[in-house]
Amino acid sequence: MRFQLLSKALLYSVAFLGCVAALAPASWPQTPSPAKQVRARQLGVPFDGQPGPLDAITDVAGVEVGSTTLISGNGPLKVGEGPVRTGVTAILPRGHGDTAPVYAGWFSLNGNGEMTGTTWVEESGLLAGPVAITNTHSVGIVRDAVIAWGLKHGVVGDEWSLPVVAETWDGYLNDINGFHVKPEHVFSALDGAHGGAVAEGNVGGGTGMVCYGFKGGTGTASRKLTADLGGYTVGVLVQCNCGRRPQLTIAGVPVGREIPDGAPYAGVATPAGLPGSEASGDVGSIIIVIATDAPLLPHQLKRLARRASLGLARTGSSSGNGSGDIFLAFSTANRGADKTPGPNSVLTVSNERISPLFTATVEATEEAIVNAMVAAETMTGRDGHTVNALPHEQLMQTLKKYNR
């Protein structure tokens, strides 16, 4: 029976891949060039720590990121037709040329969300294949497409796969029940993944997201430790869709309280007479992926994933009941740690030397969230719902007011 099921899966994959090859990705909306996007540091936002050359998760050698952005239609919601404001983001831990698994660990700060495959990450300490992030109701199709892509590229081992796919909810702007993310969009994000600069804001899985009442989305940042601390790199990528306007804090400044209210909170409109939607609690979600070249074991990577909570807290979130805040950390070191039959030798950073990596994670997480908001642009989606971008000029004025 297992062989028959596998055979059917392979036949389906071959047929599916033929369909994908016949499609024309050029007809899809193009992802904005990272070179044209404004980043928080360009506005003078002060952050702690030293970033890598790109200030992105791709500063960790081998890591590649790709995305497919879907934007079409306007006006009233017609389920199955649009408007569409969504997409998918893909992260390849070792890039296209290396399918070896990586050590990994994950952590759920608040579990009102989904990240598939984490049961096996917890059990095995390994992540095999890419990580994908999309909207809440597209997790299933993205997961299946990642498996099909893995079969094509030889990533799937032992005839089974439990890919890691995470989500945040974009239903305020997007026809989320229309299931507009298709397998070919996942293939496009995976095949198009690359090193170098990473597109931010209204791109990929972050296309339709809202963060602290402003337009949210995809953001990234990195930190490079000095040689005396090991010289390691930590990179972070976030898909942020969390928080309420009054909570927003940037570089220690209460930006959310200084800029007038009126936007929704992660898709939940502000109730009349309740400025800041204080009664609704912290809603929305955030997915955080942390990469490092430091040789860390799975339990140490879980510790690293926990520290993303502190970077999130720096921006003001309290991770309320309605928020799905789920974090994954992996290390590109120790290639071959899973070779059979073993035993295998691995390296690890001493626990007495791990604190700088914790600090780097906190700092890069904070900056990645702010980068997502700075890069995001005002967007109008289903039923005329509009979410305004974080206004750059007002942000700079507010920071100046607080001598930041």
Write down the residue that tokens 């974009």 correspond to: 170
- The residues near 403 (Cβ < 8 Å, ≥ 6 apart) are none
**Would you give the distance in Å from CA 369 to the centre of its chain?**
10
Q: Which two tokens stand for residue 232?
A: 């390691």
The residue annotated as part of the active site, out of 144, 323, 331, 338, is 323
Distance CA 200, CA 217 (A): 7
The amino acid sitting at 102 is V
| Beta carbons of 225 and 354 less than 8 angstroms apart | no
- The residues near 343 (Cβ < 8 Å, ≥ 6 apart) are none
| Beta carbons of 250 and 316 less than 8 angstroms apart | no
Residue 325 bears catalytic tag: yes
Residue 170 bears catalytic tag: no
The residue annotated as part of the active site, out of 13, 138, 222, 285, is 285
Residue 175 bears catalytic tag: no
Q: How far is CA 257 from CA 212, 249, 253, 305, in A?
A: 11, 9, 9, 29
Distance CA 322, CA 325 (A): 10
The residue annotated as part of the active site, out of 13, 325, 331, 338, is 325
Q: Residue 64 has what DSSP assignment?
A: E
Q: Which two tokens stand for residue 9?
A: 């899966």
Q: Which two tokens stand for residue 99?
A: 């399918």
Alpha helix locations (H) across 135-252? 139-153, 183-191
Phi, psi of 219 (to 5 degrees): -145, 160
Which residues have a catalytic role annotated? 285, 323, 325
